[in-house]
Structure 1
Amino acid sequence: MNHKVISALAAVGALAFAVPTMAQDAQPAEAAKPAAPTPQVRTRDLSGTFGGQRIAYRATMADTILSSDDGKPEAVVVTTSYIKTPADPTRPVFFIYNGGPGSGSVWLQMGAFGPKRVAIPSDARDDGAPPYPLLDNPDSLLDVADLVFIDPPGTGFSYLTQGTDPKKYYGLKQDGRAVADVIRRWINDNGRWSSPKYLGGESYGTSRTAMVVDELEGSTYSDVGLNGLILISTILDFAGREPTPGNEMAYVVALPNMATAAYFHGKAQAASVEAIAEEARQFAIGPYASALLKGQDLPQAEREAVRAELARLTGLSEQYLEQADLRVTDQRFYKELLRDRGLTVGRLDSRYTGRDYDNAGETPDNDPSFYGIDAGYTAAINQWARETLGYTTDRQYQSIGNVGRQWDWSLGAGWGRNAYLNIAPLVGKAMRQNSGLRVFNAQGWYDFATPFFGAEYSLKRTGIPQDRITWKYYDAGHMMYIRDEDRAKLSADIRTFIKAR
C-alpha cells in the first residue's frame, strides 16, 4: 500500500490531543479518538569547522507524518537535517540511518558524521559514568554534503500512531517503503531534485539501503536517481552467516574474524591484522570449506591438518576444536578465547573484554562492546535534541528498540520460499540499471555482528559490478568510528568517495 506523506515543514509545535466530542442528541457517546498529531519543527542556525572548512549550517528536527490511503495518520517519522547556509540546491545530500532493526540514528549522528559527537574512550574501554561531554566534530561530512539523519518508525523519537498495525511498517519491504517516502518528501520540500544523492547506513541500515534503493530507483511512479550507496558494517546475506545445524557457510564466514580477534589479543601470530585476515580468508574458502562440506567422509589425515591450522589461526586448542567437530559458533568463541584470563570478548567489537558472573559458562552473559558505550550515546542524543535543538516530547529516545521482534523478514512474491534471505541482488540490480551508481563498503576487522568476510562474500557474487565498489577496512569493530583514528579515516574515505563523482 502506498502512503501519502504529509510534510512536517509547515507547522511548529508540540504534539496535541483533542478533547473527546460528545455524540449529538440522544445518540450513544462515541469512543474518544486522539486527534491527528501536529508535526513539530525545531530549527537552529549554527556553525562549525568540518574537514578544515568553517561552515555555517541550519540544524532542523522535523516530524513527517505518514498516512494511509484514506488519510489516517499512521506514523510520525523524525528527521534531523544539517544544511549548509546559504542553501545550494545542487549540493550533494547524504541520507543516513542506523540499523537494528529498531536502532535510532544516534550512533552515526553522535558518533561519526553529525556536527557534534559524544566523548567516549577511543581504546575499547568502558564509557563509565556521566558526564559524557559533547564535542565539536571536525570529522563531520558537512563540508562535502548536506546531511539528513532519519529515524524510521519505531526508532529514536519516531513512532506509530494509536491503532496503527505494526505489520504495515515493521518489515523489510514495509520499512524500505516508509523510508523512501520520507526521502521523496524531503527532496520535494527542500527543492533538491538536482542534488547528487547518497544513501546509506550501518549494520541493518545496509539491508535497509538495499530495500530503499529498490523503492527509489525501481519504482515506476517516482524514480529517484542516486549517486552512491554508503554501506558501513554490511549485512545483506542473512542465511549465509546463521550457524543453523547443516549451514557450513556460517563457520566459513566467521573464521577470519576469529583470526583477527585472536591476533589482537595475542593468541595468534602474524605480521599484521591484514596479513592474518588474508591467511584466514584463503584457509576458510579453501581447505576449511572443503573439509566441512565433506562431512563424515572427511579423511582423518585431512581432519588433523585442518584442525591444526584452525588452532593456529583462532588461538583455540585442538582439543576444544575436536570437541566442537571443527565448528565453533561465534558465541562459544567469545567465551573460550580468553577463558584462561577470565575474560570474554565482544560481539560488536572483539577488542573489548568483559567479566562474566563466572568463568564456567559456554556463552557470555552480555556483550561488553555494547554495554561499554550505550549510556554515553543515549545521553548525547537527548542533550542535543532536547536542550540544543529544542525538540519537545515526553517520549523516550529509542536507541535500540524491540521492533525487531515484530519484524517481517519476507520479501513477498517472486522470492520463492524465502528460506535463503539474501538481499545483495537488489544492490546489483540497482547498479546494473544505473551506470553512475557507486558503492562504498566499510568494515571493521573486529566486528562479529557483520563479519568482513561475510560482506565480501555477499557483494562479490554474480550480478554485482565490481569496478564500482570501494572497499575500506578499519582497526576497530562494528562501530569503527568510536576509535578516534578510524573515525578520521572513515570520514576521509567517504569524503573522497563523494568528491569522486
Structure 2
Amino acid sequence: MFTRSDGHDATRRRILQRALLCAAALLPAMPALPALAIDKPHPAQTGASDAESNKPKFTGLAALLPADSVTHQTLTSGGKELGYTARAGTLTLRDDKGEPSARVFYVAYTLDGVAADRRPVSFFFNGGPGGGSAYLNLGAAGPTALTLPAGNPTDGANAKLGPNPDSWLAATDMVFIDAIGTGYSVPVNPDTADKTFYGTKRDARAFAKAINLWISANNRHASPHYLVGESYGGIRSIEVATALQQQQNMILNGIIMVSPALEMKLLDPGSNPLAAAMLLPSFEAARLDMQHKLTPDAVEDSYHYAFGPYLTALAAPLPTGDDARDFYGEVARRTGLDPAVITRERGMPDPQAHDVRSRNGRLFSLYDGTLSVADPFPEGIDNGDSPDPVLFGFGRAYGNAFEGYAAQTLGFRTELTYDLLDLKVNSAWDYRGEGEPVASEIPQLRKLLALNPTLRVFIANGYFDLTCTFASSRWVAEHIPVGRDRIALHVYPGGHMLYIRPASRAALARDVRAFLAP
C-alpha cells in the first residue's frame, strides 16, 4: 500500500503516491459468521517475546506499551472448531551498541495441539510505507474480520467486527507485525527514526531481525517460514527475504504477495509507457465489470492489446490527424473515459487525476476503479487534490476497529492511538538501494528464486486496482528466467484490498490454503 509523498520533483511524487490502502465495491450480502469464544486475557507467562533477560526501562511513547498479553480462543470455521493462542506484544530491537532502538508490536495466532516443527508460520506486514498491519489482520487472514455494510461498502461508520470464516489459521500460524512508526510499533528515539528505520534497506533489516527474535523466542526454527506482504509489502517482502537470507541465515519456504508493488520504476504511467500499458487492463476490467461484461476472454484481449498495439503506439511519435482520432478513440472505448480526457492525457490516463476519476458527479477510487462516492468537487479541482474514498474515507475504520479489538479481545491496552497510516513516515521514506537512486526489486527476486530452489511465490491481485495492477504482476512473472514455474498468479474481482469483497476473500483464502498445503 502506498500513499502520496512530498518528494523533490513531480515524477518522484507520482511514483511514490501509488497505493496505500484498500477498496471494495458493491459487497453482496454476508453469510452468518461462525462463533468466536474468548477467554479472559492475562499477561504473558512463558516464552516472552522480548527474549531478553535484562528488561530495558523505556521512556516516552515506548513506555506506554504494556506487557505482552495472551488469550486462548476458539474459531469455528469450515465446520471445525479451531483452538488457538493469541499473543499481542512487543519485540525489542537494539542498535549496534546493544541499546534499545525500537519496540515492535505484533499479534501472533498459533493453533493449539499441533506439532510446531511441521506447522507453517507466516509473517504479515502491510505497506504504505507507513501503513500498519491491521488491514491484513482484520481484512483478510486473522480470526476476526471487519465487514462493511453490504449495501454501501463506503460506509465505514457502520463497519462491524465478527469472526472470520475465511481465516488462514487452519493452514498456518500467523504473526502480524507493524512496521516501526506505524500501528503500535514505536522507535525509542523518534528524532532519529527516519535515519534508523525509514528506508527500503533499513526497514528490511529491522523486519528481518524482529522475525528472527520471534522465531528464537518461540522455538520455531524448524517450522516452514513464509512472508505475507500487501502493496508496498510486495517490495518489502523481497527486501526482507533477502535480509533474512543474508543477515539472519534464514531461507524461506515461500512468499505471498497481495496487490503487490514489485518495482517502483513501474509505477509512473505518466513517464513510463510500460507502466501505462500495465494500467490499461485494470481500467478496462473496471469498465467491463460495471457493464456486467467481465470475462476471462475479455481480460485476455485487454492484456494483449495493452502490450501490443497500445504500447507500440505509446512508444512511437505522437499520432496526428486520423491516426490520433482512431487511437485515442479506441483507448476511450476500452477505458470508458471521456475521449477529450484521453486526448488531453495523450492516451495515458493518470488514475490520480480528478478529471479521470470524476464522472457524472461521482468520484471513483484510485484503489478500486468500480467504487465511487458523490464527488465533493464536481465543478473541478486541482488534479492532485481530490480525496480518495478509500484512503481518506472508510478505510480509516480499520484503525479504530483494531484499537477496540486489541483492548477488548486481545487484552492489549495502551494510551497510544493505533497509527493506521502515518503520512510522515511515508514522506520521510528513503527508497534508495545499494548505490541506486531507487532500489530495484526484480533483480533481487530473480536471485532469491535462483539461490533457493524451494522458494515459491504466490501473487494475488484485484482486477480493478489502479495502483498495483494485475498486469504488472503478470508482466514481471513472465520475465523471470529462473523459477517462473514457482510463481502462482491469481486475480480476483475487487480492488487494491480485494478481500473486502466476501467472495474474493473466501477465494483468496482457499487458494492460499492450497499453496501452503504440504
Q: TM class by shorter-chain length?
A: 0.7 to 0.9
TM-score by length of 1: 0.87
**1:344 positional shift:** 1.5
Are the aligned partners of 1:122 and 1:483 in contact in 2 as well (CA < 8 Å)?
A: no
The Cα of 1:390 is off from its aligned counterpart by 1.6
C-alpha spacing 1:37/1:344, structure 2 compared with 1 (3 Å): closer
Contact 1:42/1:390, CA 8 A, preserved across alignment: yes
Task: Report the equivalent of 2:430.
Answer: 408
Distance 2:433 2:78 in 1: 40
CA spacing shift, 1:282–1:206, aligned 2, 3 Å: same
Shift of 1:39: 6.9
Structure 2: distance between partners of 1:317 and 1:146: 48
1:360-399, aligned counterparts within 5 Å? 360-361=379-380, 363=383, 365-399=386-420
- Name the CA distance, whole Å, in 2 between partners of 1:290 and 1:124: 41
Q: Which moved more, 1:456-465 or 1:346-355?
A: 456-465
Q: How much has 1:87 moved relative to structure 2?
A: 5.2
Counterparts in 2 of 1:196 and 1:99: CA distance versus 1, 3 Å: same
Partner of 2:229: 201
- Identity between Structure 1 and Structure 2 (%): 32
1:78 to 105, 115, 119: 105
- For residue 486 of structure 1, give the secondary structure of its aligned residue in structure 2: helix
The offset of 1:275, in angstroms, is 3.2
1:347 pairs with 2:347 = no
Matched residue, 2:180: 153
**One of 241, 247, 260 as aligned partner of 1:213:** 241
For 2:301, what is the secondary structure of its paired residue? helix
Structure 1 partner of 2:285: 260
Q: 2:128 aligns with which of 77, 100, 104?
A: 100
1:231 Cα deviation (Å)? 0.5
Contact 1:440/1:470, CA 8 A, preserved across alignment: yes
- Conserved 8 A contact 1:315-1:337: no
- Using the alignment, how far apart are the partners of 2:193 and 2:404 within structure 1? 31
> What secondary structure, in the 3-state scheme, does the structure 2 residue paired with 1:135 have?
strand
The aligned amino acid for 1:386 is A
Determine if the alignment matches structure 1 residue 140 to structure 2 residue 175: no
Structure 1 residue 469 corresponds to structure 2 residue 487:
yes
1: CA distance between counterparts of 2:357 and 2:131? 29
Which residue type is aligned with residue 228 of structure 1? G
Could you tell me how far apart the structure 1 residues matched to 2:490 and 2:243 are?
27
* Contact 1:335–1:343 (Cα < 8 Å) also in 2: no
SS of the residue 1:441 aligns to = strand
What TM-score does the superposition give when structure 2 sets the normalisation length? 0.84
Q: Secondary structure at the match of 2:181?
A: coil
Picking from 76, 80, 90, the partner of 1:63 is 90
Aligned match of 2:342 in 321, 330, 346? 321
SS of the residue 1:142 aligns to: helix
Q: Look up the SS of the partner of 1:276 in the other structure.
A: helix
Please give the residue correspondences for 1:18-57 in structure 2 after superposition, counting only pairs within 5 Å: 40-57=67-84
* 2:497 counterpart residue number: 479
Q: 1:39 & 1:135 partners in 2: Cα distance?
A: 25
1:128 deviates by 4.2
- Which of 250, 259, 262 is equivalent to 1:236? 262
Shift, 1:125, TM fit: 2.3
Contact 1:350 1:369 in 2 (8 A): no
| Residues 70, 422 of structure 1: alpha-carbon distance in 2 compared, 3 angstrom cutoff | closer
CA change 1:52–1:217 in 2 (3 A) is: farther
Query: Structure 1 202/52 Cα, relative in aligned 2: closer, same or farther at 3 Å?
Result: farther
Q: Confirm or deny: 8 A CA contact 2:49 2:89 kept in the other structure.
A: no
Counterpart amino acid of residue 195 in structure 1: S
Does the 8 Å CA contact 1:78/1:151 hold for their aligned counterparts? Answer: yes
Q: Deviations over 1:467-493 (max 9, x none)?
A: 011111111101111111111111001
SS at match of 2:420: coil
- Name the counterpart of 1:447: 465
- RMSD (CA atoms): 2.6
Check 1:464–1:121 CA distance in 2 against 1; reply closer, same or farther (3 A cut). Answer: farther
What is the alpha-carbon distance in structure 1 between the residues aligned to residue 240 and residue 83 of structure 2?
30
The separation in 2 between residues aligned to 1:464 and 1:367, in whole angstroms, is: 39
1:316-374 residue CA offsets vs partner (Å, 9 max, x unmatched) = 24343223322221123x644662x2111111112211222332326372112334422
C-alpha separation in 2, matches of 1:498 and 1:35: 36
Give the stretch that moved more between structures: 448-457 or 170-179. 448-457
Look up the SS of the partner of 2:366 in the other structure. coil
432 and 135 in structure 1: CA distance in 2 versus 1, 3 angstrom threshold: same
Return the alpha-carbon distance in structure 2 between the equivalents of residues 318 and 173 of structure 1: 43
User: Structure 1 residues 61 and 216, CA, compared in 2 at 3 Å: closer, same or farther?
Assistant: same
The equivalent of 1:23 in structure 2 is none
Does the 8 Å contact 2:50/2:213 carry over to 1? no
Structure 2: where are the runs of 5+ without partners?
Answer: 1-47
Paired position in structure 2 for 1:26: none
Deviation, structure 1 residue 179: 0.4
Residues 437 and 122 of structure 1, relative CA distance in 2, 3 Å threshold: farther
